[in-house]
Each structure stands twice: as C-alpha cells, then as structure tokens.
C-alpha cells in the first residue's frame, strides 16, 4: 500500500513537471510532411531568430494532412499555426477556424506577394492566411527516350504548345513493350497526380468547361457539361483505350520515380520536379508547355499553400511572429533553395536569378503569368475535391465518364447544400 | 451468484471501467450523434459564425448549427443512398467469404500441424508469424507484390507462362485480393485457438475410439470436430466481427476502389466523417455496422451451439 502511494506521488509529480512544457507558451504548428530535414532547417532558422519562443512542429504526410487538420479543427484543438491548402482557406474561414489577419499585414507587405496568391487567402473580403507557395504544371519529357526511338522532341517554346491530341499521339508512339510480355516497359505519358482535381480540372477547362458555379455552390451542369465529359473521356482513353498511362499510379512521389527512372517518356508534373529530377543522372529531361485541346484554350493548374493562425490561439503574438517569419523573404529564399516550390513572393525570383534562369523554370513562369487557373473557391472544397477525385479514379479504372460524373455531381451538391 | 460479490466486483472493476470508457461510451456517443444533423439554414449560420469571430469566440460556432433530427440520417441511408447500399453489399461479400475461408484454413492448418515434433513446431511458428506483423506493413508489402506492372506475383505468373493479372487495379479482382491477404494474415492466428482447443479434448475419447478400430480420419470427424464446436463458435464469431470492421488494408491499398469495389462500410463511414464532414451519416453507418455485428454474432452463437459437453 505504501509503495502504491509512493508511486502515485511520483506519477503526480511527473505530471506537474510536464505541464509547463505542454502549456500555453509552446507554439504548436501543424505542417505539411515535406522531408523532415528540410522542414527542420526552416524551423531552426526561426528558433535562432526567436530563441524565446518554443516551437512544437508536427509534420503530417500529404495524404493524411487534410483529414488530420479536419479532426483537430472540429474538435476545438486547433494548432496555433497551420499550413492551409489554397482552396481550403475559404472552407476553414467559413467555419471560423482561422484568425482574420487584416491588421497583421500592411498593404506594402501584401504587395510582396503575387496578387493571385493574396486573393487565394481572402474570403468574403477579409484576409485569413498568408501565401507560402504557388505552383505550376508543365509537360516533362525524357529527351533520351525520345532520341532512342527517333521521335522528334516537343518544343519548349510556349508559342509552339502541343495540343492534347498531339501529345496523345506521341504517347502512343512511345508506349513500348520491349520484351513483348504484355506489359509496357516504357509508358508514353504519366500524370503526376493522376486522379487529383488539381491536375485534371485544367483539361476540362481547356475544353471550355467550368469546374463549379460562380457562387461555389453547384456542380450539376458544370462537371456534367458536354465539354467536361469530353475531357473526362479523353482522360479515360489514356488509361483504357490507348493504354499509354499505367492505371493506379496514384502517388506523386512514385510517379516521379517512374519518370525519373526512365519508365515513362512524358510526365505532366509540377515545378518541384525541376530540382528533384536533377538526381536522376542517367537521362536528359526537358519541359514543354502544358498541352491544350485543339480549338480550346491553354489552361494550367496553379495555387498552393497558405499559412493560417487558429482562431482560438492563446499565443497570438508568437503565432504572428512565426507566420511573418516563415512567409518572409529570407525563409522563402531558403525554402526555394531547399525544396524548389514556386515561391509566392516576387522578391524571391529576383534574389535567386541562377535558379530561375533555368529554361524549365522559364516555361513555368510564363505559364504562371498567362495561363494559370486556380481551383474553384467554395466553402465545401474538401468534399468537392474528394468526391471528384473518386470520380476521376473510377474513370481511370474504366467507369463510364458521363454517368460517373453525374453521380459525383449529385453527391457534391448534396454536400454543398449545407453551405448554401 | 458469487460467493464473494465484493471481491468479484473489485477484481472486475478495472476491466469494466476500461471497457465502459473506451468501448461502450464511444459507441453510445456515436449512436447519439447519429440522431443529430444540421438544422438552421446555413446562411444564417455563416452570419452567426462571422459575428462570433468578431466577438473572439472563433471556432466555438464551428459550422452550421447541429440539432436533433431523429432517424432522418437512417431514413436517408435506407431510402436514397446508393453508395451506402453498394458499400453494404461489399462488406457482406467480404465477410461472407473471408470468415469461413479463414476458419477452414485455420482448422486445416491445426489438423496438419498439431503434435510436438520439431518440424511441425517450426511450421506452426511460420504460419503464426504473419499475424504478428502490423496490418499496415502487411498491406504495404502485399501492395508492392501485387503491383500489376512490376510486382513479384505477376513476375511469377509470367515465369510459369500465365498472363499477368491486374489484381488491385481490377474492380473484379480487388476484393478477392483483400480477402486473400486477410486469410493469409489471420489463419495462423486462429489456428492457435484450434490447437489449444484440440489439447483440451480428453485423450480417453481417442483411446476408446482407437480400441473400437476407428481410423485417424474417423477420429477427426467424429471426435475432434464435434468437441471443437465451442472453439469454432468463438473463432467464427470473433473473426466475423473482425472482418466486418476491416479498415486498414482498404485505407492503405485501395481507398475503396477501383470503382467502389472494395468500399467497405467502415471506410465509407470514415470518408463521410472526415472528408464529407457529415458526422450524422458517418455515425449512422457505424451504428448500423455495430447492430449488424451484434445480430450476426448472436445468430452464429446460436447456430454453432455445441451439442456435446465435456
């Protein structure tokens, strides 16, 4: 009995000692699960600048990030600072999860970012986040494979953009089953995010379709429009009729490995691959502008990460300092060098001329200026994206595009009804 | 009932408290939540949220207001939710195949591997090992092996002259693959229960049968199997409940696809809760799963009630 009492005392004492560590003074940050050593380097920078602010950084892998945040936000245990996917900003803001930041940044400070990036942080006229990164997508191609099979290289000049029809033709030529075992050894074309609306929506937009009603509340008639279904049918043919893309290649890092190891001739991929592909020494890569449908217009994905502060934070001042540090010029320059995201700050491009004079970056910077189209803004983005992603996934595996999109539209509109 | 009721309560208390806190209470909360839904028109709600942010209350309002809606979540599931019905069919098919096959394989292994020689005990360990590996690891490894383009299994098929298969990429094969993985992982575990059950059968029964000239297979059929009924019943009930609640392999390998062919109820409930943000529908589904598991368990217990006691 005495031992039990002694043990309880020890446990209680340990609990008391550990309380201050977990207390209100530690800044809790939930962040995207980018390579830990890279994120740690960023956080070290903050710790050096603000040694008096303890930071607890929690990295969550991309596939779990939105659900994890959703659970924490809904349960009222929001982190002080968290990374916010561009199109989810409105969703969090509508539900009161983000602290308005109108008084945190001056107009001059806001002018450091691209106007489109700042616009993605606003909802109903108020600023709810600060931009961290933007993005763009182009058609990477493996020059070595093209040359090996005697196929002319696509042009890297935005004025000579391939149509999707031409790109599919190239893909058919370069889907090669060398050992005749029934499985291609080289795939013609892979999509880095093969079922995510981020990468698929611009196909439909290039055909002239809209992804969602202007008020962000209705998908029926938009994702079920003839133009959208035509684009989805083209997408389906890549996997099911022409068989130039492998089915079920759903993880972006795996897609990059396929392409980097020479298992695919072309990859529709985002800007962060420019620095990653440098690691694959056996091949020579190029980047052509994003294809478009003949008779349609050129449209490229864009949008990126923002950083927000939990509306119920008890560490407002420290959270603002962290937010300003991490989205500031120096940290952005460091992050661009480390990871290779397209920064949302204009001054980073001027500060790193060596990085951005790369011809691949030049193609994407041109796209960001001229053809970039952000994802639709709606408070129900998480549901919209998830249901549409399931629909693209089903179409990839052979489901009928028209009926799959119709059923997705019914589901989306039922979920969006709660915000109307 | 107890000679010393106080002692019994004291000994049972820790388990009962934990059971109540971590099993019964969440289940009750979930059933309660399934009777809730969105009430006020969201336009008014978003204004209210705006006001609460200004007042510094923030996420307290956290979205449109919830209110008691009775059985309307269930009504919706039953009358106008084809995704739910599809999911229910997948779950039933999965359990209806995975459970009996696992029990049969486990029983077969137990017959083959009972006994105490070295070779058998090594094989027993080998069969038991898969169940000691985390389901997530199992799922990832099988995912690599079943890769339709570069996986080990297709290489083997090609090596013996068979055509490669799409496996998890095919709406027709994906569920069968998940069942095979479950059988592979769980049979060794349940085999241990059968082996334990076999050890509990009195030796005299076999000796008497041997004296009467019964062959080994006759002994198995007329003694071992009838006297194992209690174990079979336990394994079948536990395994059915276990299969009904399958989540990890679906979450890791198929995400319910291709084309919803592996979209089991628990995964659909998870998606509804954490992606659709529809707690009412999610908890209604999980409450129905709970009810189904209870009913099935009762039915199985009744059907497999042992005829012989020893």
Cα-based distances in Å from A100 to A94, A310, A320, B42, B143: 11, 9, 11, 21, 44
* Beta carbons of B64 and A418 less than 8 Å apart: yes
Does any CB of chain A come closer than 8 Å to the CB of residue B52? yes
Q: What single string gives the DSSP state of each residue in A370-411? A: HTEEPPPP-TTHHHHHHHHHHHHHHHHTT--HHHHHHHHHHH
| pLDDT value at residue A264 | 96
Question: With 70 as the cut, is the pLDDT of residue B264 above it?
Answer: yes
Give B47 or B64, the one with higher predicted confidence.
B64
- Containing A306, the helix (H) or strand (E) segment is strand A305-309
Alpha-carbon distance B248 to B246, whole Å?
6
A147-173 average pLDDT score: 95
**Residue whose token pair is 């392999």:** B249
B82-91 average pLDDT score: 93
Question: With 60 as the cut, is the pLDDT of residue B256 above it?
Answer: yes
- Average pLDDT of chain B is 85
| pLDDT value at residue B80 | 84
Of the candidates A74, A394, A418, which has its C-beta nearest B42's C-beta?
Answer: A418
* Beta-ladder partners of A414: none
Exposure b/e, A303-337, CB count within 10 A at least 16 = b: bbbbbbbbbbbebeebbbbbbebbbbeebbbebbe
* Beta-ladder partners of A85: A305
| pLDDT value at residue B262 | 95
pLDDT digits (tens, 9 = 90+) for A282-330: 999 999 999 999 999 999 999 889 999 999 999 999 999 999 999 999 9
Are the C-beta atoms of A342 and A56 separated by less than 8 Å?
A: no
- The residue of chain B nearest to residue A418, with distances taken between CA atoms, is B42
Of the candidates A75, A413, A217, which has an alpha carbon nearest to the alpha carbon of residue B273?
A75
Phi/psi of residue B66, each to 5°?
A: -95, 150
Task: To the nearest 10°, report the CA torsion of B86, B90, B91, B92.
Answer: 100
Chain A residues whose CB is inside 8 A of the B278 CB are: 415
Question: With 60 as the cut, is the pLDDT of residue A24 above it?
Answer: no
Cα-based distances in Å from B138 to A63, B133, B249, B250: 19, 7, 8, 12
A349-371 average pLDDT score: 92
| pLDDT value at residue A5 | 57
Phi/psi of residue B93, each to 5°?
A: -60, -45
A131 Cβ partners below 8 Å, 6+ apart?
A: A113, A114, A117, A118, A120, A121, A304, A305, A306, A327, A344, A345
A260-267 average pLDDT score: 96
Would you tell me which residues 295-324 of chain A have a C-beta closer than 8 angstroms to some C-beta of chain B?
Answer: 310-312
Does any CB of chain B come closer than 8 Å to the CB of residue A97? yes
Cα-based distances in Å from A391 to A249, A292, A299, A382, A412: 15, 22, 21, 14, 11
- A340 HSE (CA, 13 A, CB side): 16
* Beta-ladder partners of A372: A300
Of the candidates A67, A74, A419, which has its C-beta nearest B42's C-beta?
Answer: A419
- The residue of chain A nearest to residue B151, with distances taken between CA atoms, is A183
* Beta-ladder partners of B117: none
Token pair for residue B101? 């096959």
What's the whole-model pTM score? 0.84
Alpha-carbon distance B308 to B228, whole Å?
9
Pairing of strands A133-134, A342-343: antiparallel
| pLDDT value at residue A167 | 97
- A280 HSE (CA, 13 A, CB side): 19
Cα-based distances in Å from A170 to A149, A188, B163, B180: 11, 7, 28, 39
Q: How confident is the model at residue A7 (pLDDT cuts 50, 70, 90)?
A: low
Question: Looking at the predicted complex, does its ipTM rise above 0.95?
Answer: no
Of the candidates B305, B289, B138, B134, which has an alpha carbon nearest to the alpha carbon of residue B236?
B305
Q: How confident is the model at residue B14 (pLDDT cuts 50, 70, 90)?
A: very high
Distance to chain A for B33, nearest Cα, Å: 14
* Beta-ladder partners of A267: A140, A190
Q: What single string gives the DSSP state of each residue in B132-189? A: GS-HHHHHHHHHHHT-TTT-HHHHHHHHTTPPP--GGGSTTTHHHHHHHHHHHHHHHH
Task: To the nearest 10°, report the CA torsion of B83, B89, B95, B96.
Answer: 180
Of the candidates A63, A106, A56, which has an alpha carbon nearest to the alpha carbon of residue A81?
A56
Question: With 80 as the cut, is the pLDDT of residue B134 above it?
Answer: yes
Cα-based distances in Å from A317 to A28, A56, A325, A331: 13, 16, 12, 19
What percentage of chain B exceeds 90 in pLDDT? 50
| pLDDT value at residue B310 | 61
Does any CB of chain B come closer than 8 Å to the CB of residue A419? yes
Alpha-carbon distance A367 to A269, whole Å?
13
Exposure b/e, B68-93, CB count within 10 A at least 16 = b: ebeeebbebbeeebebbebbbebbeb
What percentage of chain A exceeds 70 in pLDDT? 94
- Containing A326, the helix (H) or strand (E) segment is helix A316-326
Distance to chain B for A79, nearest Cα, Å: 12
């Amino acid at each position: 009995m005495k031992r039990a009492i002694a043990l309880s005392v020890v446990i209680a004492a340990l609990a008391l000692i550990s309380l201050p560590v977990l207390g209100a003074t530690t800044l809790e940050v939930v962040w995207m699960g980018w390579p830990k050593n890279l994120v740690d380097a960023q956080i070290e920078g903050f710790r050096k600048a603000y040694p008096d602010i303890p930071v607890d950084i929690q990295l969550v892998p991309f596939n779990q990030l939105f659900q994890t945040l959703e659970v924490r936000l809904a349960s009222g245990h929001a982190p002080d600072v968290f990374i916010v996917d561009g199109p989810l900003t409105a969703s969090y803001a509508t539900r009161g999860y983000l602290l308005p930041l109108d008084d945190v940044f001056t107009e001059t400070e806001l002018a450091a970012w691209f106007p489109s990036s700042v616009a993605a942080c606003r909802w109903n006229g108020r600023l709810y986040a600060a931009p961290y990164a933007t993005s763009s997508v182009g058609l990477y191609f493996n020059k070595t494979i093209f040359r090996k099979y005697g196929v002319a290289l696509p042009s890297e000049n935005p004025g000579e953009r391939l149509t999707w029809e031409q790109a599919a033709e190239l893909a058919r030529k370069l889907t090669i089953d060398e050992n005749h075992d029934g499985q291609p050894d080289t795939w013609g074309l892979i999509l880095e995010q093969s079922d995510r609306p981020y990468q698929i929506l611009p196909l439909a937009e290039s055909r002239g379709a809209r992804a969602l009603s202007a008020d962000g509340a209705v998908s029926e008639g938009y994702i079920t429009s003839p133009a959208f279904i035509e684009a989805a049918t083209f997408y389906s043919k890549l996997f099911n009729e022409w068989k130039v893309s492998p089915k079920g290649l759903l993880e972006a890092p795996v897609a990059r490995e396929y392409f980097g190891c020479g298992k695919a001739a072309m990859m529709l991929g985002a800007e962060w691959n420019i620095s990653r592909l440098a690691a694959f020494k056996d091949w020579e890569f190029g980047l052509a502008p994003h294809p478009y449908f003949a008779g349609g217009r050129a449209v490229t994905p864009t949008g990126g990460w923002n950083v927000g502060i939990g509306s119920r934070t008890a560490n407002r001042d420290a959270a603002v300092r962290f937010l300003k540090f991490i989205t500031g010029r120096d940290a952005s320059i460091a992050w661009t060098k480390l990871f290779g995201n397209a920064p949302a700050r204009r001054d980073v491009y001027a500060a790193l001329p060596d990085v951005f004079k790369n011809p691949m970056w030049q193609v994407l910077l041109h796209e960001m200026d001229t053809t970039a189209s952000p994802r639709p803004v709606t408070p129900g983005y998480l549901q919209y994206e998830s249901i549409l992603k399931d629909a693209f996934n089903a179409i990839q595996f052979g489901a009928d595009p028209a009926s799959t999109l119709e059923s997705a539209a019914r589901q989306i509109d039922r979920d969006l009804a709660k915000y109307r | 009932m107890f000679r010393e009721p106080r002692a019994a309560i004291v000994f049972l208390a820790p388990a009962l408290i934990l059971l109540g806190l971590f099993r019964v209470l969440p289940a009750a909360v979930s059933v309660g939540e399934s009777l809730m839904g969105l009430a006020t028109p969201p336009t008014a709600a978003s204004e209210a949220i705006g006001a609460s942010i200004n007042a510094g209350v923030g996420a307290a309002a956290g979205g449109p207001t919830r209110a008691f809606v009775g059985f309307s979540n269930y009504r919706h599931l039953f009358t106008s939710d084809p995704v739910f019905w599809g999911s229910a069919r997948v779950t039933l098919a999965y359990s209806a195949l995975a459970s009996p096959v696992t029990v049969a394989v486990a029983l077969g292994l137990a017959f083959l591997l009972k006994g105490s020689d070295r070779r058998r005990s090594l094989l027993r360990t080998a069969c038991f090992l898969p169940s000691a590996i985390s389901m997530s690891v199992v799922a990832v490894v099988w995912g690599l092996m079943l890769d339709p383009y570069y996986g080990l299994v297709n290489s083997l098929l090609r090596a013996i002259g068979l055509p490669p298969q799409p496996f998890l990429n095919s709406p027709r094969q994906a569920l069968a693959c998940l069942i095979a993985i479950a059988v592979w992982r769980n049979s060794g575990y349940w085999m241990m229960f059968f082996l334990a059950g076999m050890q509990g059968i009195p030796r005299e029964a076999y000796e008497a049968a041997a004296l009467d000239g019964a062959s080994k297979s006759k002994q198995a059929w007329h003694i071992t199997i009838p006297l194992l009924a209690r174990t079979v019943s336990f394994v079948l009930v536990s395994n059915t409940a276990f299969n009904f609640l399958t989540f990890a392999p679906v979450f890791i390998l198929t995400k319910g696809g291709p084309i919803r062919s592996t979209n089991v109820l628990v995964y659909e409930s998870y998606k509804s809760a954490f992606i659709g943000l529809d707690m009412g529908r999610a908890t209604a589904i999980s409450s129905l799963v709970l009810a189904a598991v209870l009913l099935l368990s009762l039915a199985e217990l009744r059907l497999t009630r042992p005829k012989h006691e020893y």
